[in-house]
Amino acid sequence: MCPAVARTSDAALVAAARALLEQGGPDAVTMHAVGAAVGVRGPSLYNRFESREALLRATEQAALAELTARLREAGDQAPRPALERMAAIYRDFARQNPQVYALIYAPAGEDEARVAARAMAAAPLLAVTQRLVGASAALPAARLLTALLHGWVSIELAGAFRLGGNLEAAFAYALGAAIEGILSGRAPLRV
């Protein structure tokens, strides 16, 4: 291993990549820039990560692990307050980390590590929806809430909610309506 790389850690490299990503988007994350941020030469990073893409995947996985830990803590409450708290955590995470959030949803292939990280991130929500509506409806309920949250924050991050009104009240309304729909157990209309 290169002596320069021994002066840093994978976690420090991922943290530097994440900071660069948030500051300048994906194009700002180069091996040279990450190396400079931690005080080593960029080419030495290839001893830790085989490519820039591997470093970005590690950044994505670390962010998903962070989000998962936050969601897991919220899951200890009764189901409805847990879902409300999880929604707030998800939304806050996306708003505080818009570039990382975009990276998580970027179409970048589905390798085993990426699938596993996403399954890990979904587990707290699935656990709560299972307690709320049972095992057979847990996955559809989790998908409904994830679609609502992802759609909401994507529109919000794009600055596309421009019709006025209280956005926080609208978010609470949308989330409440989704939870009530899940609780009612009503199947969607068949067309």
Instruction: Indicate if the pLDDT at residue 112 is higher than 90.
Output: no
Are 171 and 142 part of one and the same domain?
Answer: yes
Are 129 and 66 part of one and the same domain?
Answer: yes
**CA angle at 33 for the pair 29 and 36, rounded to the nearest 5°:** 150
Are 73 and 152 part of one and the same domain?
Answer: yes
> What is the tens place of the pLDDT at every residue in 24-40?
999 999 999 999 999 99
Residue 10 belongs to domain with CATH number: 1.10.10
Which residues neighbour 114 within 8 Å (Cβ) at sequence distance 6 or greater?
57, 60, 61, 108
**What is the model's pLDDT at position 75?**
83
CA distance 56 to 109: 13
Q: Give the residue from 30, 49, 68 where a domain finishes.
A: 49
> What is the tens place of the pLDDT at every residue in 61-90?
999 999 999 999 998 889 999 999 999 999
Are 144 and 125 part of one and the same domain?
Answer: yes
pLDDT band at residue 186 under the 50/70/90 scheme: low
Domain assignment present for residue 190? The answer is: no
Are 81 and 130 part of one and the same domain?
Answer: yes
CA distance 172 to 57: 33
Q: How many domains does the chain have?
A: 2
Domain span including residue 3: 1-49
CA distance 139 to 11: 32
